[in-house]
Structure 1
Amino acid sequence: MNKAVKLVAVGAAFLFGATFAGNVTVQADSPRYDMVDVSNHNGQMTTPEFIDMRDAYGVKAVTTKISEGTTYHDWTAAGNIRAAQEAGLYINGYHYLRATTVAGAIAEADYAVAMAQADGLPVGAVLVADVEEPAQMAMGANMQAVVTAFENEVQIKGGFRTTAYTMGSHLEVTPYGEKSWIASYPFTPTSTQNWYATEHGWQFDSKATFRMSLGVFDVNQLYDNFFTADQAVIKKNPGDGATVWSKGGVWYTDKSFKHKANGIKKHMGSYWSFAYGKLIKSNWTNSWGMYYWSDGDGKLVQGKGTWKGYTWDFGTDGTYYVKNATPKSLNKLVEQLNK
């Protein structure tokens, strides 16, 4: 499901002072949220979203869809890789495999490697073969040679580590003796189940939700460090590069000035909010169901500040949203104060 981002701007002056550490929310009795996998169905993910997943849910790694077959390149991959790295998360990729022959698997592996390299997937990351096509399932153990060909080519051509992902009902399609990544969804996942504990990981839910993100997500419990190892650089702090460009007072996400900036973007080491090309200044932004404040220069703020006699706390944990009111009550309060 694609995400939609709602942006609302309502203005006034804001005064800032002391800082405050953010709260952490965790699930009580579910398997660990060690890794989340994302694709175009989740829309373009952002650094604040991944930071919130890291801090509030314990997410350590992200696996993003890179490609499918020999023609489809997931448009969210490059941005997801960059956002996950900026959030200090391990990043991996997956390719949806359609091949049922060795030759076809090699061709798809070459394409997946080229797209992963173009997207910036780091050497040493995992590039997974996603095996779930009905024709592949029907092949049973005969599919192992096809998956093995894909994996071998990925390692040779890309320098990526690799494994296979499939459903628990079709383990026989994964290479014999190899630890894999298995999906199987109990009616009520609990922390004591530990299904497929001899594999790299278990995808236990395909409808998980996160408080800063719209839609539903696949979440996974990991049993080893396969998805959290052998990456040369994990960026703990935001970089300082340009990601938006201005022309005639309008901001764009490309140097050709074709796509207007919309939503919260990281640019030159800070976060900024845009509404259809316009930089929001001294205003609120309602995004992902949370409220953010942009200062007079347009930067999202952290710390504590006062506005219309109220004290507001945006924390110092890199998530930037206001912490001392629920979105619903805050929405009502902001509307009242702006009358």
Structure 2
Amino acid sequence: MSAKFIDVASYQPETLAYFQAAKALGITGVVVKITEGSAQGTNYVNPKAKKQVQNARKCGLTVSGYHFLRSISVSDAKQEAQFFVKEAQKVGLNKGSMLAIDVEAGDLTHQPAALTDQVNTFAAELKRLGYGKVSVYASTSWFKARLLRSKLLPQTLWVASYDTKDAGISCAAWQYTDRQLIAGAKTDVSVDYSGLFTGNGPEQVQKAVVKPAVKNTWVDDFGVTWHQEKGIFVSQQAIYLRWGASTKSSQIALLPAGSGIKYDAFAHSGGYVWLRQPRGKGQFGYLATGKSANGQRVDCWGKFI
């Protein structure tokens, strides 16, 4: 079962008892709101952030931070990132911490290309300042209509979708409720499919997870559209590796749960999301990793690392 984490702002308590109650519910991570806007604009700092970080850590929770984006231009986004990092350092978030960009303000530009540029500028500035673990938070509808998802530099997506069976798109984490009561306070809870919000201690410096946008797309001899993407998929159940991206293709092997598969491309075909495994000498294996509907992943039989 995937781990869970909460996110908190000034609306939630800063007390040790609150985070102890969260841990008692099985929560293993927390993302604390640090800032909103920039020193040139909104200039908001969560007054509870430092205590929330400290008390969450006392409970052994993995602590990350987030910034509520208010940018109106690329240069403004860069200033916001600098403001965020300055305040994140003050509350004790070191360069191994996950930093999230909260993209949901209604007055952000409605031009997807412009907003994507602003988010990418923000992420690039975080990376330049030494924070390589970056994620983007938004609702499913924003990832589909307000942002150009394939062109985002951070591909660690944290997706909000309530009262649904899943996030609606492939993601690293899914915020599925904003109504969990913890010590009497309404709290957002998310499922962490990737382990990035719950599996790495706050003092561990990790390699950057900012990945380049998918650039290459092609159609194979069977009319299936493939997208170039390199990564590692770890299965959570036994899955057949096949010689083709079809359940009718012959089997290479039955891979047991826990198998790590390096892949170089993915495709939606026949109701499944397929990964392509390079096998040398121009040969490839193919692995179904979950169901697909209307070009979107609807479940996942493992995790990506």
* Structure 1 Cα separation of the partners of residues 11 and 148 of structure 2: 25
Distance across 1 between alignment mates of 2:118 and 2:149: 9
Q: Quote the Cα distance in structure 1 between the aligned partners of 2:73 and 2:109.
A: 13
1:1-339 to 2 correspondence within 5 Å? 34-43=4-13, 45-55=14-24, 57-70=25-38, 71-136=43-108, 138-172=110-144, 173=147, 175-176=149-150, 178-186=155-163, 193-196=165-168, 198-210=170-182, 213-231=183-201, 233=203
Distance apart, 1:102 and its partner CA? 0.9
> C-alpha distance in 1, partners of 2:148/2:97?
20
Change (3 A) 1:111 1:175: farther
Structure 2 CA distance for aligned equivalents of residues 195 and 168 of structure 1: 7
Alpha-carbon separation, structure 1, partners of 2:149 and 2:140: 14
Cα distance change of structure 1 residues 123 and 221 upon mapping to structure 2, 3 Å threshold: same
Cα 1:175–1:197 change in 2 (3 A) is: closer
Q: Give RMSD over aligned pairs.
A: 2.1
Q: Which one has the largest radius of gyration?
A: 1
Secondary structure of the 1:165 match is strand
2:267 equivalent in structure 1: none
Residue-by-residue CA offset, 1:147-192 (whole Å, 9 max, x unaligned)? 0100111121142511111111110426526231111111xx6xxx
Gaps of 5+ in 2: 205-305
| Alpha-carbon offset, residue 101 of structure 1 | 1.3
Cα pair distance change 1:197/1:32, threshold 3 Å: farther
Write the letter of the residue equivalent to 1:106. K
Give 2:161's aligned amino acid: S
3-state SS of 1:40 partner? coil
| Alpha-carbon distance in 2 for matches of 1:78, 1:175 | 32
The answer as to whether partners of 1:122 and 1:232 remain within 8 angstroms in 2 is: yes
Query: Structure 2 CA distance, aligned partners of 1:131 and 1:64?
Result: 15
**Is the CA contact (8 Å cut-off) linking 1:198 and 1:223 kept in structure 2?**
no
Return closer, same or farther for 1:160/1:67 CA change in 2, 3 Å cut-off. farther
Whole-Å Cα distance in 1 between the matches of residues 132 and 186 of structure 2? 28
Measured against aligned partners, the alpha-carbon deviations of 1:264-300 in whole angstroms (never above 9, x if no partner) come to xxxxxxxxxxxxxxxxxxxxxxxxxxxxxxxxxxxxx
Identity across the alignment (%): 27
CA contact 1:123–1:231 (8 Å) conserved in 2: no
For 2:104, the aligned partner's letter is: E
8 Å contact kept, 1:33–1:219: no
Q: Deviations over 1:218-250 (max 9, x none)?
A: 11111111213454538xxxxxxxxxxxxxxxx
- CA drift of 1:140 comes to 2.4
Q: Deviations over 1:89-114 (max 9, x none)?
A: 00000000100311010000000000
Partner of 1:246: none
Number of aligned residues: 195
Q: Give the secondary-structure state (helix, strand or coil) at the position aligned to 1:163.
A: strand
Distance 2:121 2:149 in 1: 10
Larger strand share, 1 or 2: 2
User: Shift in Å at residue 54 of structure 1?
Assistant: 1.4
Q: Classify 1:182/1:229 alpha carbon distance in 2 versus 1 (closer, same or farther; 3 Å).
A: same
Task: Please report the TM-score for the alignment, with normalisation by the length of structure 2.
Answer: 0.59
2: CA distance between counterparts of 1:122 and 1:51?
23
Is there any run of 5+ residues in structure 1 with no aligned partner, and where?
A: 1-30, 235-339
Once residues 223 and 91 of structure 1 are traced to their aligned partners in structure 2, the CA distance between those partners, rounded to angstroms, is 16
Change (3 A) 1:203 1:231: same
Q: Find the aligned partners of 2:138 and 2:83 in 1 and give their Cα distance.
A: 21
